[in-house]
Structure 1
Amino acid sequence: MFSKLILNTAFLFFVLTAFAQTDTGKKVSTKLIKVNNKIYMLQGNGGNIGLSFGNDGIFMIDDQFAEDIEQIQNDIKEVSDKPVRFLVNTHFHGDHIGGNAAMAQTGTVIFSQENVRNRIQEMIRKETKKIPQEALPLVTFSEDLTFHFNGEKIYVFHIHNAHTDGDAMVYFTNSNVLHTGDVFFNGKYPFIDIDNGGSLIGCIEGLEKARLIINEDTKIIPGHGNVGTYKDLIKTMDMLSTVYKRVYANYIKEKTEDEVAKMTDITKEYDDEGYGAGFISTEAFLRMIYKSVALERKSIENNAEKNSQAREKVEKMIKEHEQKEKN
Structure 2
Amino acid sequence: MQRRRFLQSAGLLTGVSLLPQQAWLRGLLLPASELLALRRNISIYTERGGTIACLLTPQSMVVVDTQFPEQASNLLGLLRATNSQPLDLLVNTHHHGDHTAGNIAFKGMVNTHVAHVNSLANQERVARENDKLAETLLPTTTFTDTWSQRVGDETIMLHYLGAGHTNGDALVHFQEANIVHLGDLLFNRRFPYVDKSAGANIGNWIEVLTAARRLFDKDTLYVCGHAGENYPVTASAADLKAMAHFLKMSLRYVKKAKRKGETLEQILAKTTEIPGASEFKGQGVERILNAAWEELS
Q: What TM-score, normalized to structure 1? A: 0.76
Which amino acid is the alignment partner of residue 260 of structure 1? I
Q: In the aligned structure 2, how far is the partner of 1:241 from the partner of 1:86? A: 35
Write out per-residue CA displacement over residues 51-107 of structure 1, whole angstroms, 9 at most, x where no aligned residue.
112364111111011232211211222444443221011111111111222213223
Per the alignment, residue 185 of structure 1 pairs with: 187
Higher relative contact order, structure no. (Cα contacts within 8 Å, ≥ 6 residues apart) = 2
Q: In the aligned structure 1, how far is the partner of 2:65 from the partner of 2:159? A: 15
Higher helix share: 1
Per the alignment, residue 54 of structure 1 pairs with: 57
Task: Return the match for 2:137 from 135, 138, 145.
Answer: 135
Q: In the aligned structure 2, how far is the partner of 1:163 from the partner of 1:73? A: 28
Per the alignment, residue 231 of structure 1 pairs with: 238
8 A contact 1:41–1:50 mirrored in 2:
yes
Deviates more, 1:211-220 or 1:284-293: 284-293
8 A contact 2:42–2:55 mirrored in 1:
yes
Displacement of 1:219 in angstroms is 1.1
Which amino acid is the alignment partner of residue 281 of structure 2? G
Q: In the aligned structure 2, how far is the partner of 1:259 from the partner of 1:54? A: 54
Q: Does 1:255 align with 2:255?
A: no
1:134 to 1:250, Cα distance in 2 relative to 1, 3 A: closer
Task: Return the match for 1:38 from 35, 38, 41.
Answer: 41
Which 5+ residue runs of structure 1 have no aligned equivalent? 18-25, 295-327
Q: In the aligned structure 1, how far is the partner of 2:212 from the partner of 2:149? A: 18
8 A contact 1:111–1:140 mirrored in 2:
yes
SS in 2 for 1:285: helix
Q: Does 1:276 align with 2:281?
A: yes
Q: In the aligned structure 2, how far is the partner of 1:71 from the partner of 1:95? A: 15
Q: Does 1:66 align with 2:73?
A: no
Which 5+ residue runs of structure 2 have no aligned equivalent? 10-28, 228-232
8 A contact 1:16–1:33 mirrored in 2:
no
1:268 to 1:95, Cα distance in 2 relative to 1, 3 A: same
What does 1:9-48 correspond to in 2, within 5 Å?
10-11=3-4, 29-48=32-51
What is the number of residues matched between the two proteins? 273
Q: In the aligned structure 2, how far is the partner of 1:16 from the partner of 1:256? A: 40
8 A contact 2:163–2:201 mirrored in 1:
yes
8 A contact 2:150–2:156 mirrored in 1:
yes
Q: In the aligned structure 2, how far is the partner of 1:16 from the partner of 1:282? A: 24
Write out per-residue CA displacement over residues 111-135 of structure 1, whole angstroms, 9 at most, x where no aligned residue.
1111122122223444x14232761
Write out per-residue CA displacement over residues 155-187 of structure 1, whole angstroms, 9 at most, x where no aligned residue.
101132211111111011111101001111111
Which one has the largest radius of gyration? 1
Displacement of 1:250 in angstroms is 2.2
8 A contact 1:39–1:175 mirrored in 2:
yes
8 A contact 1:165–1:197 mirrored in 2:
yes
SS in 2 for 1:262: helix
8 A contact 1:91–1:181 mirrored in 2:
yes
Which amino acid is the alignment partner of residue 51 of structure 2? N
Write out per-residue CA displacement over residues 236-290 of structure 1, whole angstroms, 9 at most, x where no aligned residue.
111211222222222234321112223438614544x3x222xx42233322222
8 A contact 1:163–1:191 mirrored in 2:
yes
Displacement of 1:28 in angstroms is 5.2
Q: What TM-score, normalized to structure 2? A: 0.83
1:190 to 1:114, Cα distance in 2 relative to 1, 3 A: same
8 A contact 1:142–1:158 mirrored in 2:
yes
Per the alignment, residue 309 of structure 1 pairs with: none
Q: In the aligned structure 2, how far is the partner of 1:195 from the partner of 1:151? A: 39
